[in-house]
Amino acid sequence: MAVTTAQSTFREDLLNGKTAIVTGASRGIGAAIAHRLCETGANVVICSRSADTITQVANTLQDSGHTVQAIVADISQKADVETLIKKTIAQFAQIDILVNNAGITRDMLLMRLKDEDWDAVLQTNLTGTMYCTRAVLRPMIRQRSGRIINISSVIGLMGNAGQANYAAAKAGILGLTKATAKEVGARGITVNAIAPGFITTDMTAQIPEQSQEQILEMIPLRGFGDPEDVADAVCFLASDAARYITGQTLQVDGGMVM
């Protein structure tokens, strides 16, 4: 593959003193985002449904000298989201950045898709993103500043056979992003989305080699991205360098969707 992992070029003090929440941070893209935000000076709250894995991520980051708090939360449950926000404010007094990364898949051709698998994906990926976004708006409006970054997917832009539920949820996130951006822009809050393409994670590792080769033919840069590529995009959108950008979708996909 032509694309290789790049070292972060962001200053260590880029987000110094800021407090960020990253959902779904127990592995893959979410863990990479948490790591990058820590490297740029932010205090980071990470959450996941898995107590063991989220604690491991937090311990690793704390051992490197970063300020990290792990909170077990299922973002598909409104009560869990409310607790997440309350604990973050209690610990750090403010929330400057929200990264809505948590998501699940329940892949199946639409004609065979079970109602419960449709509901589960929409509830976590779309409604959960709404719960988290809605919960941080009041404190962000009070401080008249904030960065909300929603992790969508190129699947939400182009669709994919066997992923009607996932595509619908990720496309819904793009609409949610634009609507929220229009509602809160006057209060100094930006809301943007990132649409990753094929990123090297546990999920893409399960794709058969022949299918991987077919996918690579669709990517002009001829390689899968790394989680850090998405994390760097998050750091940019969370920084003052992106202060005049809102309601936009940044594709991190090697040119796959144009």
Instruction: Give the residue from 174, 141, 42, 31 showing the smallest Cα distance to 97.
Output: 42
CA distance 223 to 2: 5
Candidate list 118, 166, 198, 224, residue with the active-site label: 166
Q: Is 154 within 8 Å of 195 (Cβ atoms)?
A: yes
Q: Is 136 within 8 Å of 98 (Cβ atoms)?
A: yes
CA distance 4 to 14: 24
**Which of 60-73 are b and which e, b meaning 16 or more Cβ less than 10 Å from the residue's Cβ?**
ebeeeebebbbbbb
Q: Is 191 within 8 Å of 146 (Cβ atoms)?
A: no
* 75 SS3 class: coil
Helix%, strand%, coil% for the chain, nearest 5:
50, 15, 35
* Sequence-distant (≥ 6) Cβ neighbours of residue 190 within 8 angstroms: 146, 147, 148, 181, 237, 242, 243, 245, 246
How is 5-40 classified by DSSP, letter by letter? -----S-TTTTTT-EEEEES-SSHHHHHHHHHHHHT
Q: Which two tokens stand for residue 50?
A: 């898995």
Our answer to whether residue 166 is catalytic in this structure is yes
Catalytic residues: 166
